[in-house]
Each structure stands twice: as C-alpha cells, then as structure tokens.
Amino acid sequence: MTRTPLIAGNWKMHKTIAEAEAFIQALLPRVAAARSDVAICPPFTALGAMVDSARGSGVHVYAQNVHEAGSGAFTGEVSPPMLVELDVHGAIVGHSERRQLFGETDRALQAKVPALLDAGLVPILCVGETEEEREAEQTQRKLRQQVREALAKVDDARLADVVIAYEPIWAIGTGKVATPEQAQDAIAFVRALVNDRSRAAGDAVRVLYGGSVKPDNAAELLALPDVDGALVGGASLDAESFAAIVAAA
Ligand code: PEP
C-alpha cells in the first residue's frame, strides 16, 4: 500500500491576510516540486485569500476547526458548507488546544468528522496523550478512546478518507519531540485501531506525527514505516523552514 505523505502547517492564531500573502508567495516556489501533499491551515479570516493564492499550485488549504451543523444559532462558529463555498479542502478537528482550551469533546468530534466527510471535506483528526498519561502507561488507552469515539459514526467505506494526526500533547510547542520509537509505536497502534474496523482502511489511512517537528528532525520521523507525514505548528510559520520539512518528506 503506498500512501502519499501529507505535510500540513497549522498556523493557529497567527498571520493576518497580508502576512499570509507574503508567506504563500515565499512558499509556492519552494514546494513546486514536492512529491508529498502540502497543506496550510490558516485562521478563518485568511482562508479565502489563501485558497485564491494557492489555486493551481497543488497546495491545499484547511480550516483549523468547524461546527458539525450546516447552519443554526451557533454564534462564532463556521459550518462545513461555508468552508466548501470557499473551496477549502478540509479542516483540523480535535486539536489538543481546542480540546483543552475550548472544551471540544470526543462526542462533538463524533459529529464533526462525518459532517466534514459528507460535505466532501477532509478531516484531520488530532489525537494524543498528556505527559501524565504517558508516564502512567495510559497512552494506548487514551488513543483507543479518542480514535474509536471520533470515528464511531464514520462508515467503514469512508474511514480511509480521514487523516489522523498523532500529536502527543507534551510535544506540542515544547521543542520536546517524540523519539522515533515512541512515534512509530503510537502511530502503528492508531493504524491498528482503524484496521480493527476495516483491514483495507487501516492500510490506506494516513496517520501523521505532530509535535515539535522541525527541519532538523523531520527526515528521521518521516522515514518511519507508519508515519505518513507531519502536522507542523511553529515551524510552519516560516516559509523556508516549512519548505525544508516538505523537502524531507
Ligand atoms: C500543533 O500545534 O499541531 C503542533 C504540532 O505544534 P508544534 O509543531 O509547534 O509543536
């Protein structure tokens, strides 16, 4: 099974439209020959501008969150059809910052993931354990719960259309990267959870690593057999360092 790697940059709450424009103009020539899929995940305000600027380049644009409903009385939220109208490719869901700071639950993800798929959008579902959970040897228990719950309402036939990002919370924005063994073990475990639902989907689903990926550690992580790319935070804010990670894939 060949899985095309995906390198996705999560900008979080960084970059105005003007800053995003400067970034994309610097990025596009640097990733023109990329053999992996490349995506940026700007804030909502810059999505339309980035879709327009990246059109025809092969670089996809994802949102960082979405609401599961098509429309309704949900102040401050954005729906899948609104992203489709912008020509956005997909959305990150379940990022640990959304879970910890904004109360996003596995139950909400159970609705968000199928809502994205039904709208023709690609979900990047984030899962991962805290440092305490790893020390208590609860990593697999946490991953099992997060993956099973978030995918519970996805048909087996659509499972491989979801991208899963394994992001140990202790590695996000800390400079503390998982060892290759930790990343490989956790990602193989995530794949096995999908395999439990459908052998074909488990073989085809892309599972990314996220957590302090930088140009100098990317190649080692991306060479691991079950790692199908990276979700990159801090290092995705600079076009040169993000392009170096793309080149490592
Ligand atoms: C992230 O926020 O998804 C992330 C992986 O951040 P960083 O690369 O900065 O650790």
Written as six digits, the tokens of 29 are 């020539």
**178 CB under 6 A from ligand 1?**
no
Q: Give the CATH number for residue 94.
A: 3.20.20.70
Residue 212 pLDDT = 96
**213 CB under 6 A from ligand 1?**
yes
Residue 62 pLDDT = 99
- Let me know the angle formed at the C-alpha of 60 by 93 and 63, rounded to the nearest 5 degrees: 30
CB 194 within 8 Å of CB 175: no
- Dump strand ranges (E) for the chain: 6-10, 37-41, 59-63, 90-93, 122-127, 163-166, 206-210, 229-232
pLDDT 10s per residue in the chain (249 long)?
Answer: 689 999 999 999 999 999 999 999 999 999 999 999 999 999 999 999 999 999 999 999 999 999 999 999 999 999 999 999 999 999 999 999 999 999 999 999 999 999 999 999 999 999 999 999 999 999 999 999 999 999 999 999 999 999 999 999 999 999 999 999 999 999 999 999 999 999 999 999 999 999 999 999 999 999 999 999 999 999 999 999 999 999 999
Q: Is residue 204 part of a domain?
A: yes
Enter the pTM of the model.
Answer: 0.97
Q: Is residue 239 part of a domain?
A: yes
- Tokens 């459908």 sit on residue: 198
Q: Is residue 1 part of a domain?
A: no
Residue 69: give the domain boundaries.
6-248
Q: Which of 41, 163, 166, 167 to mutate to test the pocket of ligand 1 (most atoms within 8 A of CB)?
A: 167
Output the CA 54–ligand 1 centroid distance in Å. 22
Catalytic residue status for 95 = yes
Catalytic residue status for 220 = no
Cβ atoms within 10 Å of 103's Cβ, excluding its own: 8
Residue 2 pLDDT = 86
Q: Is residue 181 part of a domain?
A: yes
Beta-carbon-side half-sphere exposure of residue 190 (alpha carbons within 13 Å): 36
Q: DSSP class of residue 178?
A: P
Burial of 84 (0-12, 13-18, 19+ CB in 10 A): middle
CA neighbor of 174 nearest in space, from 224, 139, 209, 213 = 213
Residue 180 pLDDT = 97
Q: Is residue 130 part of a domain?
A: yes
Q: How far apart are CA 123 and CA 91, in angstroms?
A: 5
Q: Is residue 179 part of a domain?
A: yes
Q: Is residue 223 part of a domain?
A: yes
Residue 234 pLDDT = 97
Q: Which of 212, 214, 216, 241 to mutate to test the pocket of ligand 1 (most atoms within 8 A of CB)?
A: 212
Domain count, the chain: 1
